Amino acid sequence: MGGRRLRFSRIMSIKLRDVQTRVIKEKDGSYAIACSALGVYSVGETLAEAKRNFGEALELHLSALKEKAIEAVA
């Protein structure tokens, strides 16, 4: 790499089998969806809304990770 060193402040290794998503029905009837391994969480008044919100949150999170990864090697 031409003497160039990459520095990583945090190394994260996630195996696909470790990625679990939990759906939680709250006492008020709303839903929460959590994926702790990826740090993605969402809520919604209905399960459909919570799933939709989770999909959007996951897309945003992964796009931010992608940008950081590209910047790290640029």
C-beta of residue 22 within 8 angstroms of C-beta of residue 34:
yes
Total domains in the chain come to: 1
Q: How many CB atoms lie within 10 A of CB 36?
A: 12
> Which residue range is the domain that position 68 belongs to?
16-73
User: pTM of the full predicted structure?
Assistant: 0.72
- Looking up residue 53, the CATH number of its domain turns out to be 3.30.160
Encoding tokens for residue 52?
A: 């939709």
Q: Quick check: is 63 in a domain? A: yes
pLDDT at 72 over 90: no
The pLDDT, as a whole number, for residue 18 is: 74
Write the pLDDT tens digit of every residue in 12-28. Answer: 566 767 789 999 999 99
Q: Report the side by side order of strands in the sheet with 22-25.
A: 22-25, 31-35, 40-44
Q: Quick check: is 5 in a domain? A: no
